[in-house]
Amino acid sequence: MMSDVPLSGKSALVTGGARRIGRAIALRLAGAGADVTITYRTSADEAVETVDAIEQLGRRGFALECDVRSEESVRATVAAAVREHGRLDILVNNAAIFETAALDTLSLERWDAVFETNTRGPFLVSREALPHLRQSSGRIVNLGSLGGLRAWAGHGHYCASKARRKSASIASLRAGLGLKAIGKIRRRASPPRPPCAATGVPMK
């Protein structure tokens, strides 16, 4: 008979786990028995609420302020998460920037900011977490987006960054780094898709 807490004794780290999809993932992991560390950058109040919700499920919750674009911040965060829970079994790279900008108004600074968070961030966190995950035979989960498969008008920088994350995930899979594809979770949890510029209806 399968246990209803299959992750009992395990520890997870969810970047951007204070709200929205990240919060839902953190609570699902806690419900399955894992202790969960979440990171946030500006959502301190929501992080406190999410940790409270994790603890109400009978698991240990821990919140850390982290800028996934910063090597120093990521290094400190992973070390603190491992100290708090004693191990690391699951990394969920969820933190991302989603915004709208027409190509002719998109600045280089905004383009770089999206790529720094959506592409460099998962690389930095995964690299820092990998030694701990190897010790526990753990897993890395990179959240993708339909925008990484089919570009949306007005979201060129976001879609390009998600396509890059998808390519990096495939490369890691082929290198045997323990990534898991969970496209169905992302698809169900995604915010409403942007309208097609030509028709004004959601793209399918």
Topology of 11-189 in CATH? Rossmann fold (3.40.50)
Catalytic residue among 14, 115, 158, 159: 158
Q: Please, what is the average pLDDT of the chain?
A: 76
Report whether 28 contacts 50 (CB < 8 A).
no
The pTM of this model reads 0.75
pLDDT exceeding 70 applies to what percent of the chain?
63
Bridge-based pairing state of the strands 179-180 and 61-65: unpaired
Tens of pLDDT, residues 23-82 = 999 999 999 999 999 999 999 999 999 999 999 999 999 999 999 999 999 999 999 999
Question: Does 158 qualify as catalytic in the annotation?
Answer: yes
Strand partners, 128: none
Instruction: Kindly indicate the confidence band of residue 7, based on its pLDDT and cuts at 50, 70 and 90.
Output: very high
- Judged against a pLDDT cut of 70, whether residue 190 lies above it is answered with no
Query: In whole angstroms, what is the distance from residue 46 CA to residue 171 CA?
Result: 34
114: left (phi over 0), alpha (psi -120 to 50) or beta: alpha
Please report, as a single letter, which amino acid is at residue 108.
L
Tens of pLDDT, residues 131-168 = 999 999 999 888 765 444 455 444 455 555 555 554 55
